[in-house]
Amino acid sequence: MAAILPAGCHKHAVGTALRGGAPTLVEMTGPRSLRAHAAAHHLLVGCAVAPEHLDGEPQYAKTVADQASIVVPENSMKWAALRPTPDRFDFRGADDVVVFALTHDQKIRGHNLCWHEALPAWFEAAVNRDNASRVLTEHIRIVAGRYAGKIHSWDVVNEAVDPKSGRPDGLRQSPWLELIGPEYIELAFRAAREADPAALLTYNDYAIELDTPEQIEKRGQVMMLVRRLRARGVPINAVGVQSHLSAGETPGAGLQHFVRELRAIGLQVFITEMDVNDRSVTGDVADRDAAVAHIYRDYLTMMLAEPNVTAALTWGITDRYTWLNLPKYARADGKPQRPLPFDADYNPTPAFFAERDAIDSRRVATSAVPSDSYAPFRPGAGPRIEEE
């Protein structure tokens, strides 16, 4: 691992930010960081990270260390990253993230154990109806077992609902559904609980934030899935609301109701992958940043008012590495997206201040917040992480 705090770095760094048009020096680390503000409100805050930047770019590592009390590997715990061949695991990237987080007193989300995407190239030829259940449970046993005791929450199953499938249960036509049947979800949660008794087990999905007809339908199907799992005694502790939003969208009362329904059945909610796509905004950078910050402020203020919303993560920390610059999501004018709390030069954007203000707006009774969600991490509970 590279040195985390480069020599000469001030403990409470200041950065420049455009507020009201003029650049001003602002404090954003130490007691002014997102993580410090979140800690004061019984909340975990953080971002997705990539091991190659943690290791190779001191400014990236410093920003993550300064701001996040919880991190999640953006890609390095996915099947495609961990499983180069059917019988070999490569944990180097995932281990780097875990070691970084433990070194910086950060919690870790595991992402993910079962998804229809990011499957390795060998998957299709090697996995069939006869062996799929075994392949899935073994993967979970080995991966969740390796990090047992070190993970705050696992995304056990990711994106299993798709209203377009036309199925009455709303389940997506994924390889797992086709090979195992609908019970693959239950199988995955039970295997995860067995491998890591301490992690909060999460179902994670997207396009369930808005009150559009499509998203209302999908949100309802996710709720049905969660209720079915609960009724069968499946160990599930939380729902992840990915929160890939776009400028101009207004998430509303439907999501708030969903969060409260989950609270009523004892589940936590994590904002797992927030970012704001600004491709619909045509103005200059200030206009775009204002539109993005507006969503951060409104969305997080609404969500963080709910006591069972206990963690908020953005999908990356700096615009420099946002996945929203992939061609599929890119802006029509070719300009880079600005969806995250820090711009490509690590200056805080208006979204940073909006996020921090929204954290400060959280007024929840301590007794109403699930106590396992923000308690300090106790290292040493799981097996030691060996170097490959």
For this structure, is 74 an active site residue? Answer: no
Q: How far is the CB of 314 from ligand XIL (least distance, A)?
A: 11
Q: Which CB sits closer to ligand XIL, 274 or 369?
A: 274
Which of residues 184 and 374 has its CB atom nearest to ligand XIL in the complex? 184
**Contact between 79 and ligand XIL per CB under 6 A:** no
Least Cβ distance, residue 174 to ligand XIL (angstroms): 13
- Identify which of 221, 208, 188 has the alpha carbon closest to the alpha carbon of residue 259: 208
Instruction: Answer yes or no whether residue 75 interacts with ligand XIL by CB under 6 A.
Output: yes
> Interaction with ligand XIL in 242-271: which residues (CB under 6 A)?
242
- Interaction of residue 162 with ligand XIL, rule CB under 6 A: no
Say how far apart CA 215 and CA 169 lie, in whole Å.
Answer: 15
Structure-derived torsion over alpha carbons of residues 241, 246, 248, 253, reported in degrees to the nearest 10: -10
Q: How far is CA 240 from the centre of its chain?
A: 8
Structure tokens at 181: 């049947």
Residues 11-50 that bind ligand XIL (CB under 6 A): none
Residue with tokens 């707006």: 361
CB nearer ligand XIL, residue 115 or residue 258: 115
- What letters, b where the CB count within 10 A reaches 16 and e where it falls short, cover 199-236? bbbbbbbbbbbbeeeebbbbbbbbbebbeebeeeebbb
Of 115 and 374, CB closest to ligand XIL: 115
Q: Does residue 275 belong to the site contacting ligand XIL (CB under 6 A)?
A: no
Q: Which amino acid is at 201?
A: L
75/256 with CB nearer ligand XIL = 75
Q: How far is the CB of 6 from ligand XIL (least distance, A)?
A: 26
Cα 134 from chain centroid?
Answer: 27
CA-based R_g, the chain, Å: 20
- 74 lies in the site for ligand XIL, by CB under 6 A: yes
- Which residue, 255 or 369, is less far from ligand XIL as judged by CB? 255
Q: How far is the CB of 311 from ligand XIL (least distance, A)?
A: 15
Alpha helix stretches (DSSP H) within the chain: 34-39, 51-56, 58-67, 79-82, 92-103, 123-126, 132-146, 175-180, 184-195, 213-231, 253-264, 285-304, 350-360
**95 makes contact with ligand XIL (CB under 6 A):** no
Measuring CA to CA, how many Å separate 285 from each of 141, 177, 295? Answer: 47, 44, 16
How near is the Cβ of 150 to ligand XIL at its closest, in Å? 20
Q: Identify the active-site residue in 159, 209, 249, 355.
A: 159
Residue 329 within binding range of ligand XIL, rule CB under 6 A: no
Contacts of 220 (CB under 8 A, 6+ apart): none
Nearest residue to ligand XIL by CB is 323
Distance CA(22)–CA(25), nearest Å, equals 10
Least CB distance from residue 203 to ligand XIL, whole Å? Answer: 12
> Does the protein bind ligand XIL through residue 323 (CB under 6 A)?
yes
Please tell me the count of residues contacting ligand XIL according to CB under 6 A. Answer: 7
Sort 313 into a burial class: Cβ within 10 Å, 0-12 / 13-18 / 19+: buried
Check residue 158 for interaction with ligand XIL (CB under 6 A).
Answer: yes
Contact 75, 118 (CB under 8 A): yes
Pick the catalytic residue from 249, 273, 306, 355. 273
Nearer Cβ to ligand XIL, position 199 or 274? Answer: 274
Task: Write the binding mask 175 to 214 for ligand XIL: x where contact by CB under 6 A, - elsewhere.
Answer: -------------------------------x--------
Q: Which residues are known catalytic residues?
A: 159, 273
- Sites of contact with ligand XIL (CB under 6 A): 74-75, 158, 206, 242, 273, 323
